[in-house]
């Protein structure tokens, strides 16, 4: 009887833990996106120069690499994730200020924002409801990220418009695949830390938005 | 990106990111679960939908 109870109880506990991770992740993701939006508005209010974007991204990347792994298992991780997303939002504000000065800037920003929302909700909904395990995409996603990063480093110095557009398209596709992978990881118990899960999904959304903004800017004749 | 020092700082930071990500990428490529029948198709369909959606957005702007 005891053994029977254990076999029933273990999957139930596991399902509860998975649901908790998913619920906490989406709640924290909503809060960080909201905070990021507020910080973007602050940055736009003060009309920060484009340099602010680079400084914010560098700071956020360093925090993500060196501070978040040490704090993700404690409540301090919450402060760090808000610091990272706040910095990225602040940097984003500087880019949005630039776009707002262009003829179709507000329309481009609104379309990129709406498009990012639709892509994220669509992919997350698909991963949550399809019952498929997309963990097999891990190798493809991480290898793709490495290739993209090498291309980004090269283009920092080459500044080729075509390469820049190709990187945006590649990053968009990779981040879309990453949303499927990460959501699947949460569902199947591969990711049990909601702070890490939030960070991953936030970075995917941020990169999709920036890439979409650039693609729409170029094809809309704003770049 | 006019400031050369910022460009260098960005390149160095991304370089560090590559260094951090490389073992993870190798781990997933070597030990990650392999795709079953129909798995890639199930992943490609939403990605093609994303591409089609972006094309639609580009045509709208």
Query: In chain A, which residues have pLDDT < 50?
Result: 1-6, 222-223
With a cut of 70, say whether residue B8 has pLDDT above it. Answer: yes
Structure-derived torsion over alpha carbons of residues A154, A160, A165, A170, reported in degrees to the nearest 10: -20
Confidence (pLDDT) at A77? 95
The reply to whether B25 touches chain A by the CB within 8 Å rule is yes
Q: Which residue has the higher pLDDT, A11 or B58?
A: B58
Confidence (pLDDT) at A26? 96
Q: Could you give the CA distance from residue A136 to residue A127 in angstroms, rounded to a whole number? A: 13
Q: Could you give the CA distance from residue A137 to residue B44 in angstroms, rounded to a whole number? A: 11
**Which residues have CB under 8 Å from A28's CB, separation 6+?**
A78, A81, A194, A195, A198
Q: Could you give the CA distance from residue B58 to residue A85 in angstroms, rounded to a whole number? A: 28
Q: Could you give the CA distance from residue A219 to residue A185 in angstroms, rounded to a whole number? A: 35
With a cut of 90, say whether residue B2 has pLDDT above it. Answer: no
Q: Do B10 and A173 touch (CB under 8 A)?
A: no
A61: chain B residues, CB-CB within 8 Å: 13-14, 16-17
Confidence (pLDDT) at A4? 46
**What ranges do the domains of chain B cover?**
4-60
The reply to whether B9 touches chain A by the CB within 8 Å rule is yes
DSSP for chain A, written as a single string: -HHHHHHHHHHHHHHHHHHHHHHHHHHHHHHHHHHHHHHHHHHHHTT--THHHHHHHHHHHHIIIIIHHHHTTSTHHHHHHHHHHHHHHHHHHHHHHHHHTSTTHHHHHHHHHHHHHHHHHHHHHHHHHS---GGGGHHHHHHHHHHHHHHHHHHHHH--HHHHHHHHHHHHHHHHHHHHHHHHHHHTTS---HHHHHHHHHHHHHHHHHHHHHHHHHHTT--
For residue A180, the distance in angstroms to the closest alpha carbon of chain B comes to: 8
For residue B22, the distance in angstroms to the closest alpha carbon of chain A comes to: 7
Sole residue written with tokens 């993700």? A72
Confidence (pLDDT) at A16? 81
The reply to whether B41 touches chain A by the CB within 8 Å rule is no
Confidence (pLDDT) at A3? 46
**What ranges do the domains of chain A cover?**
18-219
């Amino acid at each position: 009887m005891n053994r029977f109870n254990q076999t029933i109880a273990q999957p139930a506990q596991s399902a509860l833990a998975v649901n908790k991770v998913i619920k906490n992740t989406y709640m924290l993701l909503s809060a960080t996106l909201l905070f990021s939006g507020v910080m973007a508005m602050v940055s736009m209010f003060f009309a920060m120069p484009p340099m602010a974007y680079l400084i914010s991204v560098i700071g956020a990347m360093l925090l993500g690499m060196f501070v978040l792994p040490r704090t993700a298992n404690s409540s301090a991780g919450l402060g760090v994730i808000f610091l990272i997303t706040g910095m990225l939002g602040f940097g984003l504000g500087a880019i949005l200020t630039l776009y707002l000065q262009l003829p179709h800037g507000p329309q481009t920003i609104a379309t990129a924002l709406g498009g990012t929302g639709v892509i994220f909700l669509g992919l997350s909904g698909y991963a949550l409801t399809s019952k498929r395990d997309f963990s097999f995409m891990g190798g493809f996603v991480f290898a793709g990220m490495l290739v993209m990063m090498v291309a980004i480093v090269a283009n920092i110095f080459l500044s080729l418009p075509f390469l820049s557009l190709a990187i945006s398209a590649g990053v968009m596709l990779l981040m879309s695949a990453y949303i499927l992978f990460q959501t699947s990881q949460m569902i199947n118990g591969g990711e049990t830390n909601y702070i890490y899960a939030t960070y991953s999904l936030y970075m995917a959304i941020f990169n999709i938005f920036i890439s979409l903004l650039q693609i729409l800017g170029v094809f809309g004749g704003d770049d | 990106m006019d400031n050369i020092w910022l460009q260098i700082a960005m390149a160095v930071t991304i370089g560090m990111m590559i260094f951090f990500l490389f073992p993870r990428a190798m781990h997933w490529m070597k030990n990650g679960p392999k795709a079953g029948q129909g798995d890639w198709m199930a992943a490609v369909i939403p990605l093609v939908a994303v591409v089609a959606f972006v094309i639609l957005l580009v045509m709208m702007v």
